[in-house]
Amino acid sequence: MQKTSSRLLALLSLLQARPEWSGDDLAERLQVTVRTVRRDIGRLRALGYPVATDKGPGGGYRLRPGSQMPPLLFDDEQVIALAVALQSTAHPAIAEDADRALATIRNVLPPRLRQRMDALHVTTVRPPDPGAPPAQALDLLTTVSTAIQRREVLRLDYTPYQEAAPQRRCVEPHHLVAWRTHWYLLAWDIDRDDWRAFRTDRMTPRTPTGPRFTVRQLPGGDVSTFVTSRFRGSDGTEAAWPCQGEAILDLPASEVVPHTADGIVEPLGPTRCRVITGSWSWAALAAGLGRFDANLHVIGPPALHEACATLARRYAAATTAKPGRLDAPNR
């Protein structure tokens, strides 16, 4: 049988892993009697862990929230996973808090785990973005998230892009989303009768919140697909670009890959490559392919051929047209 201290740690780990356990299940997992489980539960309570007991045939034990946060227990793999996650997925708006949490974890690790954690050091490289990410108060994110969890209508003042005066909006908040360097509230706009994504650094929630609402189904049913689709100019049901095409560039694949974002670049030899990529319009896709200083061979679809031909005519006209005097009115 395990020593009492080791058994208590194992019991605490089980209670943290699942919402509720029966005494029989805990006894079987720990290879002890139900009576020993009851005694160990009492020891955990004496240490400050709020373990609740549900009586009756279907009762069991569960670790409930307390007034203070008790020490947490992680196994070796959970610690390493947590460290990697803090390094690689922290949003820029909370990067400083993530770094502090990572330092706190590292300071209490035994040498064997600290070595593993340092060996798995991760540097996250994000695409360059104009300007620094805006500072985002965690209390605002908490306010928005609370309204989502309670399913309460949120009233807010919102300042759209390139507008000085805020607008009063009334929304049904559904999801808090991190996209690139910003946080967004995905909500049903009651006045506009449609889904909207609101940047949280441009909003000021008003209190009190409104009445409770019934959760709506997102078009397509998936948050990630919907948000990606909306930012790519689609209706929210497909994550792919609305316009996708294929072309061959007379350039090495290594010179094309850094400039194609989420496109596919396939080498066709030392000096050519095949590119499959997309954009929000055919003209934008044609212009994107044309920005490479190399010969371009369009494979398809026909809409991309037409967009390239249209741009070619416009560029040709732009080089032959005589510039007019901008300071004189047309006569």
pLDDT in tens for each of the 331 residues of the chain? 456 777 887 888 788 777 788 888 888 888 899 899 889 888 888 877 888 887 765 568 888 765 455 566 677 777 788 877 777 665 555 667 777 777 877 777 788 878 887 777 665 555 544 444 455 567 788 888 889 989 999 999 998 877 778 889 999 999 888 776 778 888 999 988 989 888 888 888 888 888 899 989 888 778 887 877 777 766 666 667 778 899 999 999 888 888 877 788 888 888 999 998 888 788 988 988 888 888 889 998 999 999 999 999 988 888 876 665 545 444 4
Q: How many CA atoms lie within 13 A of 65 on its CB side?
A: 1
Cβ 207 vs Cβ 140: under 8 Å: no
Q: Which two tokens stand for residue 307?
A: 């967009």
> What is the DSSP-derived secondary structure letter of residue 92?
G
Tell me, what's the pLDDT at 301? 92
**Cα angle, residue 182 at apex, residues 209 and 98 outer, rounded to 5°:** 95
pLDDT for the residue numbered 190 = 92
* 293 contacts 269 by C-beta, under 8 angstroms: no
Residue-level length of the chain: 331
In a 13 Å sphere around the CA of 248, the CA atoms on its Cβ side amount to 8
Amino acid type, 149 = Q
Give pLDDT, residue 47.
79
CA–CA separation, 159 vs 220, rounded Å?
A: 28
Asked whether the beta carbons of 301 and 245 are under 8 A apart, the reply is yes
Residue 273: what pLDDT? 92
Strands (E), the chain: 51-54, 60-63, 154-158, 167-179, 182-189, 194-199, 203-206, 243-249, 264-267, 273-279, 296-300
Q: How far apart are CA 241 and CA 281, in angstroms?
A: 9
Segments in 18-131 forming alpha helices (H): 23-30, 34-46, 76-88, 95-107, 111-119
